[in-house]
């Protein structure tokens, strides 16, 4: 059954606490889920603030939830302070062979280096 916008809003208001707690539990079990959501947003949603640097330049997301879980475990992201997804080739798409998890501080350094040294 599909709900109208007003019904969705009403349902959310009535169940806000339960919805947030369920999301937190799920996010703790699958922390890579938020990463996938963010990637899809910046690559596929033209109103996103970062779209121009990603989807607007033709960068696409070919990762699935299971791909991100594999990368998360392969790169040891659970032991990182702030894991961040990184594309090895900045002009390439988000794909299994082009992505890795690294520390956010390292990813920021790479971005600054690319900005001033490219």
- Report pLDDT digits (tens) over 74-99: 999 999 999 999 999 988 999 999 99
Q: Is the pTM of this model over 0.85?
A: no
Angstrom CA distances, 89 to 27, 41, 97, 100, stand at: 28, 20, 10, 11
> Tens digit of pLDDT for each residue in 14-54?
988 887 887 677 666 788 888 999 999 999 999 999 999 89
Is residue 80 in some structural domain? yes
d(CA 67, CA 54): 20
Which residues touch 95 (CB under 8 Å, ≥6 apart)? 62, 63
Judge contact between 68 and 36, C-beta under 8 A.
Answer: yes
Is residue 88 in some structural domain? yes
Instruction: Inform me whether the pLDDT recorded for 70 exceeds 50.
Output: yes
Is residue 23 in some structural domain? no
Is residue 63 in some structural domain? yes
H or E segment and range at residue 24: helix 5-29
Structurally, the chain folds into a number of domains equal to: 1
Judge contact between 75 and 101, C-beta under 8 A.
Answer: yes
Is residue 2 in some structural domain? no
What range defines the domain where residue 71 resides? 31-117
């Amino acid at each position: 059954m599909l709900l109208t916008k007003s019904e969705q809003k009403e349902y959310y208001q009535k169940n806000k606490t339960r919805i947030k707690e369920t999301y937190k539990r799920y996010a703790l079990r699958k922390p890579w889920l938020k990463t996938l959501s963010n990637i899809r947003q910046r690559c596929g949603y033209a109103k996103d603030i970062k779209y121009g640097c990603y989807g607007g330049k033709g960068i696409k997301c070919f990762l699935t939830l299971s791909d991100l879980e594999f990368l998360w475990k392969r790169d040891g992201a659970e032991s990182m302070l702030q894991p961040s997804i990184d594309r090895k080739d900045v002009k390439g798409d988000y794909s299994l062979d082009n992505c890795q998890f690294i520390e956010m501080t390292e990813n920021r350094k790479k971005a600054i280096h690319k900005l001033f040294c490219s």
